[in-house]
Structure 1
Amino acid sequence: MEFGIATFVTDESIRPDRLGPAVEERGFDSLFVTEHSHIPASRETPFPGGGDLPRRYYRTLDPFVALTAAAAHTSRILVGTGIALIPQRDVLHLAKEVASLDLVSNGRAVLGVGSGWNREEMRNHGADPKTRGALTNERLAALKQLWTEERAEFHGEFVDFDPVFSWPKPVQRPHPPIYVGGETAPALERLLHHGDAWFPRVGTPLARIREVREWLAERGRPDVPVTLFGTERDVAALNGYAEAGLDRVTFLLSTKPEAEALTELDSFAELAQKIR
């Protein structure tokens, strides 16, 4: 089982060009960063975690800019979104952003995806919360066309474009892996049809993970990798994930200035050593 780091990179946290090397130097295999384009002042949608929305949600850097900075100062770690909010991203720009990240990182890009939870935020992007799942699915299908076809075209209910040229193409073949976040039935259907790996959140019971794997196997996809987002610091829980055959768990790094972030990374590295 591999260990990675997930975090909210903000204007108040460790810089991504310092974070990337620190993650790599400590033996982690990946860095995943979150995104929110903005936070509507209305705050009508409740925070899924309960209570007030934490400060870090308001201040995230653009994930592809942050990951490019991290990639430019590393050579080994995967650099991925955890997660990119697909209903809020133009598919043509997204195809170019991910392919460009894959190129500058020499084939280390990962696209973690989800349909989002903040309804006002997605409405500001012109997305209807009621159809965000279907929109996400079409954009993922269109992305693959843009990445793999010289003359790509797509005609759906939400995504529609005639033949286009879209370059660069990704370094990875056929394309960077798509990690699908979420544990709901629609998210799992998305994983089945559009995903290369599953990206469940911490708190997803091991029994549920086994159940989903069996469900995938019954539908002809027995080998879908699993990366857990934001794992516990509990050794017993980590050993349980390892015994269950999870491919990777990511520790959720607090959004802190450099010195404090490096200290926390050290503690994660020490914990990972107890499991390896």
Structure 2
Amino acid sequence: MKFAFGMPRLIELKATMQPWELTVTGADQTRLAKLADRIGYDMISVPEHFIMPKAHVDLSGPHHFHGFTGMGYYAGATERIRINSSIAILPLQHPIITAKALATLDWMSSGRAMVTFGAGWLKEEFDLLGVDFHRRGAMCDDYLAAIVELWTSDDPVFDGEFVQFRNVAFAPRPVQKPHLPIWMGGEADAVLKRAAKFASGWWPYLTKPEDIPAKIDFIKSQSGYDGRPFDVMYGFATSRIGEGHKVLDDPRARPGMTAPEIVDRLGWFGELGVTMSSVPIPAVRSIDEYADYAQWVIEEIKPKLV
């Protein structure tokens, strides 16, 4: 089992955030990123929204990063840990820009970048940015194919519905081959089919843990899946967040569980097919207390699940 680091105040979800996190600064996050890198966490991920309609602020909060900018900063502050998104909203940026941002990040971080793409769920955000919410699935398919073409071809050519290019040069390409890892976020059948064709990992958001094996079987049954290794990320807090960031109660995923309880639940996740998880931030009072807890997870929990 690999461990993702739960960076405080990446977002301000009512379902998971504690009051002390509102005091966390960029300098604090830098210190924690360096700690996570040093003590053995495997991944930091950056959620993304570009603009938040006020009607959604109560559950979702106003505080959201631009995913690739945040990823680049964390990559520059660290040396070993993988840097992911959770999620990058694929239809809301032109795929050539996305391909360039991620290839740059992978090249400059010596091959530590990865990306989790999602189709997006917040229609008002699409409307504000002038993107057709109802065509987002078709855009995702087109954009993914275009991005992979740019990352892998010596002479990239693409003629899709939403993007076209030929007679172009694209460099640098990703350090990782054939390209940096792509994961897909979400659970609709279209998302899982997209994962089978393009991805090497899946990050569910509304799936119950016990339903994960069936979803993995569905992915691997698709014609686009070629038997490649496939990761599944499922954090403890996932089952406490509902559609539209609604607050859900799941006592099995509460913060501050004992070591045996955490090990037992992570062991169960592993049996379901999960390869990476994160332990929720407990009821601490400060950034220093959380840093101590994060180190305890690596020293006391991770060795029992290798």
Distance in 1 (CA, whole Å) between partners of 2:104 and 2:286 is 28
Aligned to 1:240: 268
Aligned to 1:98: 102
Out of 9, 14, 25, the residue aligned to residue 38 of structure 2 is: 25
Aligned to 1:36: 49
Aligned to 2:5: 5
Aligned to 1:225: 230
More contact order relative to length (CA 8 Å, sep ≥ 6): 1
Cα displacement (A) at 1:6: 4.4
Greater Cα shift, 194-203 or 115-124? 194-203
Distance in 2 (CA, whole Å) between partners of 1:114 and 1:89 is 12
Distance in 2 (CA, whole Å) between partners of 1:202 and 1:131 is 22
Distance in 1 (CA, whole Å) between partners of 2:174 and 2:265 is 36
Cα displacement (A) at 1:20: 1.9
Any conservation in 1 of the 2:185–2:191 contact (CA below 8 Å)? yes
In structure 1, runs of 5+ residues without a counterpart are none
Any conservation in 2 of the 1:5–1:252 contact (CA below 8 Å)? no
Out of 211, 214, 235, the residue aligned to residue 211 of structure 1 is: 214
Aligned to 1:54: 60
Identity %: 29
Residue 196 of structure 1 pairs with residue 200 of structure 2: yes
1:161–1:213: structure 2 CA closer, same or farther, 3 Å change rule? Answer: same
1:89–1:145: structure 2 CA closer, same or farther, 3 Å change rule? Answer: same
Any conservation in 2 of the 1:201–1:228 contact (CA below 8 Å)? no
Q: Which amino acid aligns with 1:247?
A: T
Any conservation in 1 of the 2:209–2:272 contact (CA below 8 Å)? no
Query: Which secondary structure state, in structure 1, belongs to the residue aligned with residue 65 of structure 2?
Result: coil
Aligned to 1:152: 156
Cα displacement (A) at 1:150: 3.0
Q: Which amino acid aligns with 2:142?
A: E
Distance in 2 (CA, whole Å) between partners of 1:17 and 1:103 is 21
Query: Which secondary structure state, in structure 2, belongs to the residue aligned with residue 152 of structure 1?
Result: coil
Cα displacement (A) at 1:246: 2.3
Out of 63, 66, 69, the residue aligned to residue 65 of structure 1 is: 69
Cα displacement (A) at 1:114: 0.2
Any conservation in 2 of the 1:31–1:79 contact (CA below 8 Å)? yes
What CA deviation, in whole Å up to 9, does each residue of 1:158-216 have, x standing for no partner?
Answer: 2223332222111001110100111111111111122121112375323x221123223
Any conservation in 2 of the 1:6–1:250 contact (CA below 8 Å)? yes
Aligned to 2:249: none
Greater Cα shift, 12-21 or 115-124? 12-21
Aligned residues: 265
Which structure is higher in helix share?
Answer: 2
Any conservation in 2 of the 1:101–1:109 contact (CA below 8 Å)? yes
Q: Which amino acid aligns with 2:4?
A: G
Distance in 1 (CA, whole Å) between partners of 2:226 and 2:179 is 18
Which structure is higher in strand share?
Answer: 1
Residue 163 of structure 1 pairs with residue 174 of structure 2: no
Greater Cα shift, 78-87 or 125-134? 125-134
Cα displacement (A) at 1:107: 0.2
Any conservation in 1 of the 2:3–2:276 contact (CA below 8 Å)? yes
Distance in 1 (CA, whole Å) between partners of 2:97 and 2:200 is 21
Any conservation in 1 of the 2:186–2:206 contact (CA below 8 Å)? no
Query: Which secondary structure state, in structure 1, belongs to the residue aligned with residue 51 of structure 2?
Result: coil
Residue 262 of structure 1 pairs with residue 291 of structure 2: yes
TM-score by length of 1: 0.84
Aligned CA RMSD, in angstroms, stands at 2.6
Distance in 2 (CA, whole Å) between partners of 1:246 and 1:78 is 18
